[in-house]
Structure 1
Amino acid sequence: MTNNKRKSNASRKDADLPSSSPPVKKPKEETEDPPSNAVEVPATDAPTSPARSSGRKSGRKKEEVLVKDDDEETRFVGDPVPADEARRRWPHRYLEKKVSFSLTTQVNVRFSNEAPKEFIQAKRHFTEALVDGRVSFKVGEDGYVQAGEGEESYICRVVEMFEGLDNKPYFCAQWFYRAKDTIIQACSHLIDDKRIFLSEVKDDNPLDCLLEKLKIVRVPLDVDVATKRSKLADGNYYYDMSYLVPFSSYQNLLPDSETDGNESDSTISCNSDVNANATKGSKVQEDKRSEMRMLDLYSGCGGMSTGLCLGANMADVNLVTRWAVDFNKYACESLKLNHPETEVRNEAADDFLLLLKEWEKLCQSFSLVGGGDPMSVAKDETENSEDDEADDDGDDDLGEEVFEVEKVLSICYGDPKGINKRGLYLKIRWKNYGPEEDTWEPIDGLSDCQDKIKQFVVDGFNSKLLPLPGDVDVICGGPPCQGISGFNRFRNKENPLSDEKNKQLIVYMDIVEFLKPRFALMENVVDIVKFAKGYLGRYALGRLVSMNYQARVGLITAGSYGLPQFRMRMFMWAAAPNEKLPQYPLPTHNVVTRGVSPVEFESNAVIHDDIKSAELEKELFLGDAISDLPPVENDEGRDEIPYKEKPKTEFQKFIRLKKKDMPGFASVDVGSSEHLLYDHRPLKLNDDDYQRVCQIPRRKGANFRDLKGVRVRADNHVEWDPDVERVYLPSGRPLVPDYAMTFVDGRSLKPFGRLWWDEIVPTVVTRAEPHNQAILHPVQDRVLTIRENARLQGFPDYYQLLGPIKERYIQVGNAVAVPVARALGYSLAMSCKGTATEGPVFVLPKNFPTLDVAASPLTVDEN
């Protein structure tokens, strides 16, 4: 009996094939002409190759395979499913209009779960089959499937068995992914090797591709690996999540998502609700205005958390930034000024994590929370009293001054005294001494004042001075990864995480793992999914999934949400097992996305599938954002000036609203009075640069090429004009600097470039020098001011910044665009309230976020 075994359509690779499994069978080569009853069957795209994992077809070549009718080793057994029942359950297999059959995978549909365009038409269905004359398979059972030559077996669930119109036996497979088959790929070592993910991909295969049966166990998502493995018993694999190619989504399973053995069309849809009971016990469900507490890591001046809070509050969820951490002291000062309700900590995130762990131990030592052994600082009061008496006697004998602790003021982890001794420190106010004498002291040297320490810890515990595990509802932040920057010539492509400049990504995930928030949102430059084949982005996803968080990745362009700035960034949502994974808000404005998305993350771009049918507002330009601002000079030194003019556009009217009038503003104990225009001052150019800028024509597209002595060749490269004598400034330096001529091999238009009113800015940057970027005002001889940059980032005009001028530019340039964060905050609130629609994306309300504001006339008080 000839056994012409055919390669499977799937590209499931088995990383850990059990030793008891038979070797992968290969198709037998034909040495004679095919029999007349042979049928050519085209192979299909691989559903789980790296290419398919990224949402693209694999492009595997089709091959001719012979399937003989007289192969009795693999055949259906038992009676066929009654015809009427089969037509009811699988109507797509019994179309009245005859369709030529072909093997096809699930069509790559971004947001819907549409059926494949073509199906193999069926003559009849079965529920059981015999494979290789020895292995019995039933519908609903799991098994290994033969892969290509040299590849390990794939894993699937048999969801349908039928005989085609060609009289050949087929089965429909629903595929499982291993971590290495998903977008995690190179970081699959973070995931238990017994853990697999159920996909929504189904396709048809010849029945004899099945090899061996498997036992795959569904387990709860919200338990640890050891518990999951214990439930595995004698099974081969376990699964607790689905993996969906669109937006690289890892989601909890629906209660009824486990495939019914008698149903072929049961699949996990990317539009499905993660968990019908996800918000049943939600704090927000119990009281929609109860406070949701957020921690803003790497907060900068607070753009991300500000937007998230505004958006969430617009949806009637009271999200409050209770804690913020950043290493830049000026950014911390700005955030505290605008958010007095926030506990802002100016320290490294690494030290903050160590502090959180020590704080938990302190709270345990004073029995404020359970767990842990009492610390040495929590000695018996009687023992302390005796020690104090002995110390007092000794001090009297020595005649030395005794310093008594009056109050513990603060706590930190690090080396605040600069003595190269890192550890836990308390800030002490000494009795009979003023604030100027406050000092940081190591806690292990304060064992004689346990009552003061206890009072500080108890007060801090009650006021939530620092978060404990379970206290944080949301963590947001953009861990800096300077190691992937294109400006870093020494980037480590082989092992990015070994680069100290990328370690904050690990710290961010460690903090999430320690605090266990309900939700997390991470932001970063798109290079995180580009550099080193996207290793850092894959690592971040792998860490979240290993911690049992649902997760998805989206690439968002700021201009698509009502800003005259392109600025694409990566946002990664995470949600605890019992929460609804937040969606991405679809664009509201008609902005063409700029920048190239990595091939494997093309399906992660947050865009409308059909841009023509989407109701989008007109894109905004530079003039829409800043044309109402008063003129200022290069040497403007005032931090506050009058507006003078009324707003000219809806954007300007909205951005000038007072704090209390801003949609989504949650009232706190802080004034919101009339204000002047803050931070409308530019970086003062040096004399040479100022003289150069003054000679740049005030017209669209003007730049250093318009200066005397520069000639542009036909190939768009610049060169010195041999007919023009080189011009020099009074300082003796050339009018046209050499670096402008050689920048980007003489092809760049950016040095000393003017922006124009009808343009969209590529990206707001942190440095305001005009040497290698277009940052000049359209008609004023200066660079854009801090406020103009802040407008391009969507900061309300009431948001005031502190610090030196260059530091304020850095704060604005590093921030997350407020409108993007606002839209994401709205999405977060929808998930918390259980009102989110299905799918990974949703449409924001019309006129978001201005709502009723846009309907009122353009008015403003002139100061």
Structure 2
Amino acid sequence: MSYSVSYSTFMNMPFEEAENGKLAPKSAVASGSSTSGQKSQLLLLDLYSGCGAMSTGLCLGANLSGLSLQTRWAVDFNPHACESLKFNHPETEVRNELAQDFLAVLREWERLCQKFGFVNEDVSPEVDSSDDDEGPYEASKGSPGEFEVGKIVDMCYGETSNVKEVGLKFKVRWKGYGPKDDTWEPIEGLGKCEERIRDFVRRGYNKNILPLPGTVDVICGGPPCQGISGFNRFRNSEAPLQDEKNKQMVVYMEIIEFLKPRFVLMENVVDILKFAKGYLGRYALSRLVAMNYQARLGIMAAGSYGLPQFRMRVFLWGARPTEKLPQFPLPTHDVVIRGGGPVEFEHSVVAYEENQHRDLKKELLLYDAISDLPPVANDEMRDEMDYLTAPKTDFQKYIRLSREEVMNLLPEGERPSQKRKLLDHRPLRLNDDDYQRVCHIPKKKGANFRCLPGVMVGPENKVQWDPNVERVLLPSGKPLVPDYAMSFINGKSPKPFGRLWWDETVPTVVTRAEPHNQIILHPEQDRVLSIRENARLQGFPDFYKFFGPLKQRYMQIGNAVAVPVSRALGYALGQAVQRKGDDKHVFILPPDFPRTTQSDIID
């Protein structure tokens, strides 16, 4: 491999000695040894998937490049996020479990497939209507109190509702009973069910319900590293990987090592390059290289790819030696990146060189994203409603497209016949006191709790009480200006009960829709931004539906990878799979990206 400081890149040497003894381009040698180009569709595993933003964007971008990429498997521990992903991607095998338990299942699955002789064999699916039978089986004629296994329908390794011990378990459909009566049973208790287990493995192997080593084309994911958070008072800067809150980085790499995908894309917060001198970022990079993957690390700002938020994140590409290492797409929009990148990795910020020609679109503002959405109240309860106005900006026209239009599934010029509803346009309901406070915040740019009576701004931009103004109380008897707003960040922060404004770019979409310590109020309505407004700021198409309690939906969106960023990366992946482009670290996206061939700017 060669190494370049730019984007911390480890990649194949430009030349390698070919079989005839002459020097040949590495890409040509790799191309001759890889059969990957023959696949009509590539399969993706989304780890720590959340509601599926990263894989959604990757598949959209790959599709725009001419590559068919499908999210075949997804894993996340949050049941509500899994429900959202499954609804929006019904073709995906979604597993609600810990990543380390998923790895244990994969190892058991490989063992079972080998035991029953299915690995590396051409096993044709059998026509068996019972494979998808969700009804009860014929009642057992056994003795009263005895139950007979009808069939095995799933397997797992972690805790279940009825069995707390960790270990391999199978989900049993009992004879004479339906799916609601399924139970998880440890393998130790199924000693007489060898044939039932074999049938399950056969069906599962034919349906590809779990990946085997070498069957995954792409793994993406953002392993949580909560141990580096500034809110963690016990951060271990001397040995970060000894902190249980950082162990998912190790699990993520172990899954890669086991499955050996062709491509890897990891996402994480910029702090993995800051905390403990970038220990976790360096660990991830070195693990990939140690597994003989090419690797490239970049820092990307969401606003640079067509969103009205800055939001910087770290992305790490990995590619097998027989593949072309994907590049990073250069920005498409003229957004000034507000620092945030560690000095030691300044060569990894994805941006144009100072003297490089650029033809960038104007940055997007809050107005571009949400100005077409109908007004709603603090206590809005509807999950579906009508659009009341036509889209006002190109962003709104694109974000309103149907799934079929975005994926180019409609004949050219044809529009969807069904009128679409606006989903999830409801805010987290504020309690009465907070609602009263929000109603007192002026509807103007820069407004926040400092505009309320009794608050003065003194030296060093620090708030203090005005001794000449009596403290205003709410109907509940609590103060209009709470003490925590005055003391937040030593009284120097303007964030509590702050209003956003139409001509602003939002710093980042947050996971908690509470106005106590962040600027999240709608510019002209007395409420926090709605679920859909937050989703728009993350680039989720309007057809994407979210599930779970309101706080859970906000969390899914706030934790997500910005869809336009992952879409641009998906295009880069498609270019690499098709061996297009040069060996530079970055490339320029098409000028009309991400426009589809549909008439997507027609009202």
TM-score by length of 1: 0.65
Q: Find the partner of 2:118 among 347, 354, 368.
A: 368
Give the distance between the partners of 2:382 and 2:524, measured in 1 at CA.
21
Match of 1:478 in 2: 222
1:409 Cα deviation after fit: 1.0
- The residue matched to 1:276 in structure 2 has which SS? helix
1:223 counterpart residue number = none
Alignment check: 8 A CA contact 1:274 1:581 kept: no
CA distance in 2, matches of 1:594, 1:652: 25
- The aligned counterpart of 1:184 is none
Call closer, same or farther: CA 1:836–1:633 in 2, change over 3 Å: same
The answer on 1:727 being equivalent to 2:477 is no
Matched, 1:849 2:601: no
Q: In structure 2, the residue corresponding to 1:719 is in which secondary structure?
A: strand
Distance 1:280 1:615 in 2: 37
Q: What residue in structure 2 maps to residue 743 of structure 1? A: 488
Question: Which residue, out of 83, 88, 111, partners 1:333?
Answer: 83
Give the match for residue 31 of structure 1: none
Matching residue of 1:431? 175
CA distance in 1, matches of 2:455, 2:362: 38
Local SS of the residue matching 1:414:
coil
Partner of 2:249: 505
Matched AA of 1:497 = L
Contact 1:585 1:827 in 2 (8 A): yes
2:68 to 310, 318, 324: 318
Give the drift of 1:444: 2.1
* Aligned counterparts of 1:296 and 1:424: Cα–Cα separation in 2: 22
User: Which residue is 2:584 aligned to?
Assistant: 839
- After TM superposition, the structure 1 stretch with the greater mean CA deviation from structure 2, 627-636 or 450-459, is 450-459
Residues 753 and 761 of structure 1, relative CA distance in 2, 3 Å threshold: same
1:246 matches 2:6 = yes
1:678 matched to 2:423:
yes
Deviations 1:85-140 (A, max 9, x none): xxxxxxxxxxxxxxxxxxxxxxxxxxxxxxxxxxxxxxxxxxxxxxxxxxxxxxxx
Aligned to 1:539: 283
Matches within 5 A, 1:102-121: none
Query: Could you give the per-residue CA deviations for residues 785-811 of structure 1, whole angstroms, max 9, x where no partner exists?
Result: 000000000000000111110000000
Q: Is the 8 A contact 1:305 1:821 kept in 2?
A: yes
Q: CA deviation at 1:594?
A: 1.4
For 1:308, give the aligned amino acid.
Answer: L
Residue equivalent to 2:196: 452
* 1:413 to 1:273, Cα distance in 2 relative to 1, 3 A: farther
**Alignment-derived partner of residue 46 in structure 2:** 296
CA shift for structure 1 position 448:
1.0
User: 1:99: which partner in 2?
Assistant: none
Quick one: distance in 2 between partners of 1:788 and 1:613?
34
Number of matched pairs: 577
Asked whether the 8 Å contact 1:663–1:849 carries over to 2, the reply is no
1:623 aligns to 2:367 (yes or no) = yes
Shift of 1:715: 2.2
Secondary structure, aligned partner of 1:553: strand
Distance in 1 (CA, whole Å) between partners of 2:575 and 2:340 is 31
2:168 is paired with a residue whose SS is strand
CA drift of 1:717 comes to: 0.7
Contact 2:59/2:70 (8 A) holds in 1: yes
Query: Among 525, 530, 533, which residue is 2:269 paired with?
Result: 525
Deviation at 1:407, TM superposition (A): 1.1
Q: Which residue of 2 aligns with 1:793?
A: 538
- The alpha-carbon deviation at position 595 of structure 1 amounts to 3.0
Helix, strand or coil at the partner of 2:157: strand
Query: Offset at 1:282?
Result: 4.7
Whole-angstrom CA distance in 2 between matches of 1:665 and 1:571: 30
One-letter identity of the residue aligned with 1:286: Q
Aligned to 1:779: 524
Per mean C-alpha deviation after superposition, the further-off stretch among 673-682 and 320-329 is 673-682
- Asked if structure 2 preserves the Cα contact closer than 8 Å seen for 1:295 and 1:475, the reply is yes
One-letter code aligned to 2:30: A
How far did 1:437 drift?
2.1
1:715 aligned counterpart, secondary structure = helix
Q: CA deviation at 1:683?
A: 0.3
Alignment-mate amino acid for residue 496 of structure 1: P
User: Which position in structure 1 is the counterpart of 2:128?
Assistant: none
Q: Aligned partners of 1:242 and 1:709: how far apart in 2?
A: 63
Counterparts of residues 56-205 of structure 1 (less than 5 Å): none
Q: Tell me, yes or no, if structure 1 residue 824 matches structure 2 residue 569.
A: yes
Taking the aligned partners of 1:611 and 1:567, their CA distance within structure 2 comes to 25
**1:255 aligned partner:** 15
SS in 1 for 2:201: helix
Instruction: State the Cα deviation string for residues 247-303 of structure 1 (Å, max 9, x = none).
Output: 000111233489xxxxxxx9xxxxx9762333445555335xx11000000000000
Pairwise CA distance, 1:847: 1.7
1:696 aligns with 2:441: yes
Is the contact between residue 752 and residue 773 of structure 1 (CA under 8 Å) also seen in structure 2? yes
String of CA shifts for 1:621-680, please: whole Å, max 9, x gaps.
Answer: 00000000000000000000101100000000000001100146699xxx9953200000
Matches within 5 A, 1:698-713: 698-713=443-458
In the TM superposition, residue 447 of structure 1 has moved relative to its aligned partner by 1.8
Residue aligned with 2:554, SS: helix
Kept in 2: contact 1:284–1:317 (CA 8 A):
no
Q: Distance in 2 between matches of 1:440 and 1:591?
A: 52
Would you say the 8 A contact 1:279–1:833 is kept in 2?
no
Aligned counterparts of 1:549 and 1:648: Cα–Cα separation in 2: 46
Check 1:639–1:672 CA distance in 2 against 1; reply closer, same or farther (3 A cut).
Answer: farther
Q: Distance in 2 between matches of 1:445 and 1:242?
A: 53
Residues 628-639 of structure 1: pairs in structure 2 closer than 5 A? 628-639=372-383
Residue 615 of structure 1 and its aligned partner are, at CA, apart by: 0.4
What is the alpha-carbon distance in structure 1 between the residues aligned to residue 113 and residue 17 of structure 2? 42
Q: Which one of 23, 30, 39 corresponds to residue 278 of structure 1?
A: 30
Which residue number in structure 2 is paired with residue 767 of structure 1?
A: 512
**Inter-partner Cα distance in structure 1 for 2:591 and 2:13:** 32
Quick one: which amino acid aligns to residue 479 of structure 1? P
**Higher-helix-fraction structure:** 2
TM-score by length of 2: 0.92
In 2, the alpha carbon distance for the partners of 1:273 and 1:529 equals 33
- Separation in structure 2 between the aligned mates of residue 360 and residue 256 of structure 1, nearest angstrom: 35
Q: Which residue of 1 aligns with 2:135?
A: none
**2:155 match:** 411
* Structure 2 unaligned spans of 5+: 122-139
- Residue 581 (1) aligns with residue 325 (2): yes
| Matched-pair contact (CA < 8 Å) for 1:708–1:727 | yes
- Equivalent-residue separation in structure 2 for 1:666 and 1:450 (angstroms): 47
CA spacing shift, 1:496–1:279, aligned 2, 3 Å: same
CA distance in 2, matches of 1:405, 1:851: 50
Q: CA RMSD in A?
A: 2.2
CA distance in 2, matches of 1:475, 1:273: 27
The letter for the 1-side match of 2:260 is K
CA contact (8 A) 2:34 2:322 kept: no
Q: Tell me what 2:295 maps to.
A: 551
1:307 to 45, 50, 57: 57
The match for 2:237 among 489, 493, 502 is 493
Higher RCO, 1 vs 2 (CA within 8 Å, ≥6 residues apart): 2
- Give the letter aligned to residue 412 of structure 1: C
> Who is 2:136 aligned against?
none
